[in-house]
Chains A and B, each alone.
Chain A
Amino acid sequence: MTVQFRRHFLATFVAGFAGLCALGAKAAVSPLELVGPISDYKIYVAENVRKLAADTRAFTAAVKAGDIEKAKKLYAPTRTSYERIEPVAELFNDLDKAIDSRADDHEKAEKDPAFGGFHRIEYGLWVQKNTKELNPVADKLLADVLELQKRLGALTFPPEKVVGGAAVLMEEVAATKISGEENRYSHTDLWDFQSNFEGAFKIVELLRPLVVKENKAFSDKTDANFKVVFDTLAKYRTADGGFETYSKLTERDRKLLAGRVNTLAEDLSKLRGMLGLN
């Protein structure tokens, strides 16, 4: 889908809840009841993207100053606000590719001139151990993040994307993150896990009053699975509020997380339908 088309597509959805009301006629949850949770989610996204912009400014400044140690320290925490709002950030395909693509998304991997964004800088900091080539990458990353902030501010959130976003985050973790391949140079994957789970849990929290009305057992089970996930990750917290490296994750905990992620993905895949959304 091209960006223009995608935008147009969104705009059609954004047109309002009128169409939705018709579609959701059968569901017990009225589409109007979604207005509150979705505007709360919009605030959540705005807060996160604001923090992302500020953190990216500091991070890219450190990169450009050649301060590798400082940049390395800022890398994982800077990404957290992006990872929390990934389901909506990803609506802008061009920006997501520019900000968060991985080397294997590119034909020539690390050597590909189109490989930029966070992971290109991660590669420079941890593997190349110098920032010589990173100046334009840093400038582009900051510009892309600011553009994302602008676009998100103008976006009316499609309800099905927000509700479906909880499942999307779990699918991402299940398919390409649980293996530790996301942050393959820095091994800061547990930071991303935590943020992805927080982002998904936020959506679940906002929708909980509606979900409980539909299916309390579902809601309780989902909450319990999130609790296990957060408790498991908490074991890997470091004293400074960060996380151990991915390699510290025991085989058993990795499997445990994988199972909970699969279960959450399976259960949350029903959320849209449960709330009568297409």
Chain B
Amino acid sequence: MEKSKINEAVPPEGRPESPHRRRMLGAAGVAFAGLAASARAGAAPSGPPNSPDSGAQVTDAPQSTHTQDRVPFRGRHQAGIVTPRPTAGMIASFYVLAENRADLERLFRTLTERIAFLTQGGPQTDPDPKLPPAGSGILGPVVQPEGLTVTVSVGTSMFDERFGLEKKKPLRLNQMQRHPNDALDAALCHGDLSIQFCANTPDTNIHALRDIIKNTPDLLVLHWKQEGTVPPIPAVPGKPAESARNFLGFRDGSANPDSADDKLMDRIVWVQPGGDEPAWAVGGSYQAVRIIRNFVERWDRTPLQEQEAIMGRLKPTGAPMDGGKTEHDVPDYTKDPEGKATPMDAHIRLANPRTKASDKNLMLRRPFNYSNGVTKSGQLEMGLLFICYQANLENGFIAVQKRLDGEPLEEYIKPIGGGFFFTLPGVRDEHDWLGRSLMAA
């Protein structure tokens, strides 16, 4: 009833309301006028007008100059690890349904082919409208790459009896174990295969995920997925890029090793030839994923100095507590052996004590913030989709997490999911495919 009244009072799209039509509105028109009059009787709205001056429309798509960002797909290593982290990330974990090596190879080849297309973009055509379209179409008929990277890793369960790969398992790949503060949900843990999607927009990641699901119905079943974002900051010419902030409001990833330094990455991230790992794994990396819930309401009710003492950094700048101006300044713990400036149990000090011995525990972190709605208690379900890469999982994530076990920050965080995976070496050329070295080993 109400709806039809409104519809009548609104002139058809794009056509100016004629006086004749206005007369015809009759009672509805009168009611409408009355409403307008009563609104006028109240206080007139003040402040500047809200209408955009460009003539842009509400439903116009947001504009971006980055839709054609392309990250090369082929290389010694998979993209999406030392690639600078874009705004949107996602980890999807799958069960692999392949029952034999031929099917597994078909899976790897299909993934290679789809990822090569999705990351570089291009048209998707549908010659027969009687058939379902080839893709979801959510990016339009020409797929924009949007800086997409798709990174494929395998879980320890891929090395069970199914494919005869038992003896090929990377030495340090095991199922993620529970740490004392964890409350792991089986529905959010582990998996045969993880795929990390990163792009300028979440829609690009979703498009890629849906494409892969559509192209592998008999090979993959989705187990769990978690999306996340990183807030962009203004680009300031001449100033070093800043580290992004997590949902606790602190800069995250400040102490990350320089991902543009190939030699450093070879040492910290990539499995190297000549070590104890199987030869097929050279060029790959261990991926640790943790879904870490943050109790943000409680955190926001914690005194600032306590937050800073727990993290070991100043909140506004990210600078360490013993001096310095930015998050890039390095704390000197040798001058603070009793933890007077930076508490001994501060998060950053436990995670990286910056000793000679702890140098081998470095890893490359690539986390995203996640937000999933509301808990049963009416609190925000949000936190960190922690992702890190390292050449040695035991020396990297596992050692660091053991040092962190029992840290004061635990009162505010709860790891609920994730898993350990091994990121396959890169696809070298057009004849190569993901997993080829593993299958040939």
Contacts and interface: CB of A to CB of B under 8 A. Distances in A.
Interface in B166-219: 214, 217-219
Nearest to B129: A273
Given A255-B95, A255-B97, A256-B97, A262 B221 contact: yes
Contact of A273 (B128, B214, B217, B219): B128
B218 A263 contact: yes
A274 B128 CA distance: 10
Interface string A247-272: 00000000110111011011001101
Q: Which of A259, A263, A276, A277 has the most CB of B within 10 A?
A: A259
Nearest to A261: B217
B130 A278 contact: yes
Contacts of A255: 95, 97, 221
B130 A259 contact: no
B95 A270 contact: no
Contact of B97 (A259, A265, A269, A272): A259
Contact of B130 (A256, A263, A273): A273
Interface in A150-203: none
Nearest to A27: B130
A259 B132 contact: no
A261 B220 CA distance: 12
B374 interface: no
B233 interface: no
Contacts of B260: none
B56 interface: no
Contact of B218 (A262, A269, A270): A262
B4 to A, nearest CB: 17
Interface residues of B, number: 12
B39 interface: no
B217 A266 contact: yes
Nearest to B223: A255
- Which 8 A-B residue pairings sit nearest by Cβ, starting from the closest? A273-B130, A259-B97, A262-B217, A273-B131, A263-B218, A263-B217, A266-B217, A255-B95
Nearest to A267: B217
Contacts of B217: 259, 262-263, 265-266
A259 B217 CA distance: 6
Nearest to B132: A269
Contacts of A274: 131
A270 B132 contact: yes
11 contacts: A225-B218, A255-B97, A256-B97, A258-B221, A259-B97, A259-B219, A262-B218, A263-B218, A270-B131, A273-B128, A273-B132
Interface in B117-148: 128, 130-132
Q: Which of B131, B219, B220 has the most CB of A within 10 A?
A: B131
Contacts of B221: 255, 258-259, 262
Contacts of A270: 131-132
A276 to B, nearest CB: 7
A273 B131 CA distance: 5
A270 B133 CA distance: 10
Contacts of A258: 221
Contacts of A259: 97, 217-221
A269 B132 CA distance: 7
A119 B234 CA distance: 56
Nearest to A252: B95
Contacts of A265: 217
A108 B97 CA distance: 38
Contacts of B220: 259
Contacts of A273: 128, 130-132
Given A256-B97, A266-B214, A276 B130 contact: yes
Contacts of A266: 214, 217
A274 B221 CA distance: 26
Given A263-B218, A273-B130, 11 more contacts: A225-B218, A258-B221, A259-B97, A259-B219, A259-B221, A262-B221, A263-B217, A270-B131, A270-B132, A273-B128, A273-B132
Nearest to B128: A273
B157 to A, nearest CB: 11
A51 B63 CA distance: 60
A261 B130 CA distance: 22
A258 B132 CA distance: 21
Contacts of A256: 97
A269 B128 CA distance: 13
A180 B95 CA distance: 19
A258 B213 CA distance: 13
Nearest to A264: B217
Contacts of B97: 255-256, 259
A263 B221 CA distance: 10
A224 B367 CA distance: 43
B130 A277 contact: yes
A197 to B, nearest CB: 16
A278 B129 CA distance: 9
A225 B217 CA distance: 12
A266 B221 CA distance: 13
A255 B131 CA distance: 27
A276 B128 CA distance: 10
Nearest to B192: A255
A102 B132 CA distance: 30
A256 B95 CA distance: 10
A252 to B, nearest CB: 9
B130 A272 contact: yes
Contacts of B95: 255
Interface in B216-245: 217-221
A5 to B, nearest CB: 18
Residue among A225, A266, A270, A272 with the most chain B CB within 10 A?
A266
A211 B100 CA distance: 29
Contacts of A262: 217-218, 221
Nearest to B218: A263
B58 to A, nearest CB: 30
A269 B134 CA distance: 12
Contacts of B130: 272-273, 276-278
